[in-house]
């Protein structure tokens, strides 16, 4: 979701085979020693098989056929050849709205988060950096070089600083997908629930904004059943998808106040 913010705000971000020797044929010219024809060795005829031995051989053959066609022995009442049971998806006993309520409760009780992010833009371009979040209302993205971007949300605004251009642009926080993460009380009244996807160890919730100034879809992916955000994706009105993946996250730890200060005059962020 920040993906779209990142891509729209700067604007809509920032792959000898050797030939095998020919086989010799009978007409090939070979050294005399290699062309010696050996005299065949007589082979004794097999001894006759008695009726008793023949029956025993037939019994062995029948047993082999049965063993090949029969299922493996049961273990704990389940055949060895039976497919493994499919794990139940997370929150299988809850309907979609109940899952959404759990996600909302998790987000509203999230205080701080910090770690690494990897952003993949619609073009396939990849950027990395550090993310710092403090709810409500504050988030910061420090991009690794060569990206010149730094993004800070604070005091109801989102500031996008481009060091290469020596300029900072600002946007109302409420008009960006970041509002779904940073609002003290998450209000989804201006969004439609598109769907809830469930896997054994994760869930994804997708919303479509009804706000004309913040159109697009947001998909939040969280681990399950112990909810923890691990990824979000934003589909913009042009159908471009930006994905932000989070790694090595630390939740609930103190985050320096100075990371969320508004820009100084001239566009530079206060970092110390």
In a domain, 211, yes or no: yes
Looking at residues 218-236, what average pLDDT do you find?
Answer: 93
In a domain, 124, yes or no: yes
Looking at residues 57-84, what average pLDDT do you find?
Answer: 50
**Cis, peptide link before residue 136, omega less than 30° from 0:** yes
In a domain, 212, yes or no: yes
Q: pLDDT tens, 82-96?
A: 565 666 788 888 999
The pLDDT score that the predictor gives to residue 187 is 77
Query: In the 8-state DSSP scheme, what is residue 125?
Result: -
In a domain, 138, yes or no: yes
In a domain, 118, yes or no: yes
Side-chain half-sphere exposure of 270, counting CA atoms within 13 A: 10
Confidence of residue 25 (pLDDT cuts 50, 70, 90): very low
Nearest to 2 by CA among 176, 214, 146, 216: 176
Q: pLDDT tens, 124-151?
A: 999 999 999 999 999 999 999 999 999 9
In a domain, 105, yes or no: yes
In a domain, 120, yes or no: yes
The pLDDT score that the predictor gives to residue 15 is 26
Confidence of residue 175 (pLDDT cuts 50, 70, 90): confident
Phi, psi at 124, each rounded to 5°: 95, -5
In a domain, 222, yes or no: yes
Q: Is a pLDDT exceeding 90 seen at residue 255?
A: yes
Q: Are 159 and 263 in contact (CB under 8 A)?
A: yes
Tally the domains of the chain: 1
Q: Is a pLDDT exceeding 70 seen at residue 115?
A: yes
Write down the pTM of the prediction: 0.67
> Domain holding 211: CATH number?
2.50.20.10
Looking at residues 74-103, what average pLDDT do you find?
Answer: 72
80 against 38, higher pLDDT: 80
The pLDDT score that the predictor gives to residue 264 is 66
Q: Compute CA 111 distance to the chain's CA centroid, rounded to the nearest angstrom.
A: 25
Domain of 129, in residue numbers: 2-8+96-248
Looking at residues 188-214, what average pLDDT do you find?
Answer: 84
The pLDDT score that the predictor gives to residue 209 is 79
The pLDDT score that the predictor gives to residue 267 is 55
């Amino acid at each position: 979701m920040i993906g779209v913010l990142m891509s729209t705000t700067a604007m809509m971000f920032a792959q000898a085979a050797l030939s095998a020797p020919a086989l010799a044929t009978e007409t090939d010219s070979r050294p005399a020693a290699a062309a010696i024809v050996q005299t065949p060795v007589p082979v004794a005829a097999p001894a006759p098989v008695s009726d008793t031995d023949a029956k025993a051989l037939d019994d062995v053959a029948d047993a082999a056929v049965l063993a090949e066609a029969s299922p493996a022995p049961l273990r704990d009442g389940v055949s060895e050849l039976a497919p493994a049971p499919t794990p139940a998806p997370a929150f299988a006993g809850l309907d979609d709205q109940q899952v959404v309520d759990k996600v909302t409760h998790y987000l509203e009780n999230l205080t701080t988060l910090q770690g690494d992010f990897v952003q993949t833009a619609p073009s396939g371009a990849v950027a990395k950096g550090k993310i710092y979040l403090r709810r409500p209302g504050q988030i910061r993205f420090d991009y690794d070089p060569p990206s010149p971007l730094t993004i800070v949300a604070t005091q109801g605004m989102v500031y996008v600083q481009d060091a290469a251009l020596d300029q900072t642009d600002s946007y109302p926080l409420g008009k960006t997908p970041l509002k779904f993460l940073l609002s003290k009380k998450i209000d989804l009244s201006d969004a439609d629930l598109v769907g809830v996807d469930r896997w054994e160890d994760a869930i994804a919730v997708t919303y479509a904004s009804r706000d004309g100034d913040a159109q697009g879809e947001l998909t939040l992916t969280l681990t399950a059943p112990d909810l923890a955000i691990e990824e979000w994706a934003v589909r913009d009105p042009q159908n471009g998808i930006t994905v932000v993946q989070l790694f090595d996250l630390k939740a609930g730890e103190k985050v320096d106040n100075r990371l969320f200060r508004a820009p100084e005059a001239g566009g530079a962020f206060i970092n110390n």
